[in-house]
Structure 1
Amino acid sequence: MRLTSALPFALMLATTPAYAARVDDRAAIAIARPRVEIVDRSLPAKTVAAMLAPVDAFYGFWNNGSQALLDRAVAPSFVDHALPPGRPQGPKGPMVAARAFLGAVPDLRVAVTQRLVVGDRVVSALHFTGHFTGTFQGRKGAGQPVDFIATDILAVHGGRITDNWHLEDNLTFMQQIGAAG
């Protein structure tokens, strides 16, 4: 088992509608570095590195909405196994979600609090934070803090994420922005 620790990372943020969390790709990846990482010792280091490169790009993508990071992360055959209604399947789906989310929470940050690497899977416990200053489903934010968790199970093959099973605490998010009681 290998454990790593990420250093705190603070940045000044610009505010623009869809990609407000404008940090460069390198900084976006650094923000999402896992606080704890547990790796199956039977996996060769080269295999682990190849698996984690697209995963790091994927979580960096959620910090800045970069098409380049998304392209590095997901395979053309990417499947979202927990696809919400109205979101397109495939590589376009995460971009649609990121545009909506970064439009609502321009300073959105995702931190990987814990990551497990086993076989061809990477399981990540995620912590999303920011402020609702944009618009979401017709509701205008007033700076409400956003703080919720999610969990991803990613399958990685051929250097790209091929599958994602995810669960977000959407109820907490909706309560925090005043859209649910």
Structure 2
Amino acid sequence: MSQPDSGLAEIKAIVRSANDSVQRDGDFALFERLYAQDYIDHTPFGDFAPDRSGTRMIYETFRAAFASWHADIHQQIAEGDLVTTYKTYRGRHDGNFLGISPTGREIHFAVIDIMRVRNGQITDHWAVADAMGLFTQLGATTG
């Protein structure tokens, strides 16, 4: 199902708001409006639930553990009701993160994610993330 260019710009803006206003700025009232009640995370992070409450907990966990948490968006491509975003997450590890004590290290890791947007809300998410790169920077891996 293809959308006119204005519709594609709109769904890209919704995903950008999720990155900037929710993840970076902590606007969880906006999270409640942007993420559909039946939202599914098809590739959840760690042991977090694959639903909207699990995704909210992921965002809260990263924001609490990493000062200046944000994503540098390098590219967004929209087609139909899907938005693919290539980005680099960045922050300083100043809080506990999944049992890893603060290191004070500046971290960064790449992510490519796809979000489905229907009726102005994010309904689905898929991602490929360099989690090994993140944990290596935190000193949580060997080799």
**Quick check: TM above 0.5?**
yes
Inter-CA distance 76–149: structure 2 relative to 1 (3 Å threshold): same
CA deviations over 1:41-60 (Å, ceiling 9, x no partner): x7424312432342122112
How many residues get paired?
140
2:133 to 169, 172, 178: 172
2:109 to 140, 143, 148: 148
1:57 to 17, 25, 33: 17
TM-score (structure 2 length as normaliser): 0.88
| Alignment partners' CA distance in 1, 2:26 and 2:32 | 11
- In proportion to residue count, which structure has more strand? 2
Percent identity, please. Answer: 26
CA deviations over 1:59-95 (Å, ceiling 9, x no partner): 1211122212212321111110012453123221221
Contact 1:154 1:162 in 2 (8 A): yes
Deviates more, 1:46-55 or 1:156-165: 46-55
Q: Which runs of 4+ in 1 moved over 4 A?
A: none
Inter-CA distance 70–170: structure 2 relative to 1 (3 Å threshold): same
- Counterparts of 1:31-180 in structure 2 under 5 Å? 43-60=3-20, 61-180=22-141
AA matched with 2:127: H
Identify unmatched segments of 5+ residues in structure 1: 1-41
TM-score (structure 1 length as normaliser): 0.71
CA deviations over 1:160-179 (Å, ceiling 9, x no partner): 11110011100010011111
RMSD: 1.7
Q: CA deviation at 1:156?
A: 1.0
CA deviations over 1:117-162 (Å, ceiling 9, x no partner): 1111100001111111111122221311101100101111111111
